[in-house]
């Protein structure tokens, strides 16, 4: 029978960009400067990416990454980005999963202003909201009625915005890594993304020329998962994630792009 730990990983691993310990064993890397020039064409309102999640040949559900219309957050204009993971009927008999993460990302500075997470995994339900003060480098976090304040690094990203921020960058050369500051769980982490090689990936919606990367995730984050994730991004200015793989307790999980929609504002 499928273990609950596997089921949680299967359905929520797409949102595992909630990371991580600082990794330093690789000699070649580039640290990300928050003021580095970025290609904002990678983030487009109306983009909707749907992934089929499979574990050892079993379809477990779907995950959706979506960029909504820009909205006002305080005095700033922000991208409203959501990530959802939902178990299918078969998996839900054992362990229903319904996770939703939202980030509100400053359009000009590409940093998060607000982060919200609603998780339903089995009988467990958890809600969290984080407000970012990027000027004074602090966050106010409310979780299960408890409010706390933490210091953050300049330009710190959240679990979801880190993925979109990385998409706007010029990728490092093969064998090199980029580090992004990520706030998660009261701590500041260095998210490492190492570029491996170029590959062609076949999907139900066509073949894509991609850049294969590995994302280091070495601590238990919001979804109680562990492990590194291999992600294939399109080899163009959009850097769309096409396929993701991660090992779990038994076997591995694959998320494959099955639908892509664009409706630019």
> What tens digit of pLDDT does each residue of 71-114 get?
999 899 999 999 998 888 988 888 788 889 999 999 999 999 99
> What tens digit of pLDDT does each residue of 152-185 get?
999 999 988 999 999 999 998 999 988 888 888 7
pLDDT tier at 58, thresholds 50, 70, 90 = confident
Tokens of 66: 């979506």
pTM for this model (two decimals): 0.83
């Amino acid at each position: 029978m499928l273990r609950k730990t596997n089921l949680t990983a299967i359905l929520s691993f797409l949102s595992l960009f909630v990371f991580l310990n600082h990794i330093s064993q690789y000699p070649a890397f580039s640290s990300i400067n928050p003021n580095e020039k970025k290609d904002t064409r990678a983030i487009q309102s109306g983009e909707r990416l749907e992934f089929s999640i499979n574990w050892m040949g079993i379809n477990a559900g779907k995950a959706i990454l979506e960029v909504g219309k820009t909205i006002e957050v305080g005095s700033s204009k922000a991208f409203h980005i959501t990530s959802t993971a939902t178990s299918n009927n078969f998996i839900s008999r054992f362990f229903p999963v319904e996770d939703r993460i939202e980030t509100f990302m400053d359009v000009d500075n590409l940093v998060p202003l607000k982060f919200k997470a609603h998780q339903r995994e089995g009988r467990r339900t958890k809600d969290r909201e984080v407000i970012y003060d990027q000027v004074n480098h602090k966050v106010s976090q409310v979780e299960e009625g408890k409010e706390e304040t933490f210091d953050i690094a300049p330009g710190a990203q959240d679990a979801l915005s880190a993925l979109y921020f990385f998409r706007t960058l010029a990728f490092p050369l093969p064998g090199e890594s980029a580090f992004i500051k990520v706030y998660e769980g009261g701590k500041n982490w260095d998210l490492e993304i190492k570029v491996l090689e170029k590959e062609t990936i076949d999907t139900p919606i066509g073949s894509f020329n991609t850049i294969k990367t590995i994302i280091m995730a070495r601590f238990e984050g919001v979804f109680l998962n562990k492990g590194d994730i291999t992600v294939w991004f399109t080899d163009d200015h959009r850097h769309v994630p096409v396929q993701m793989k991660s090992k779990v307790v038994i076997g591995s999980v694959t998320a494959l792009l099955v639908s892509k929609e664009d409706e630019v504002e």
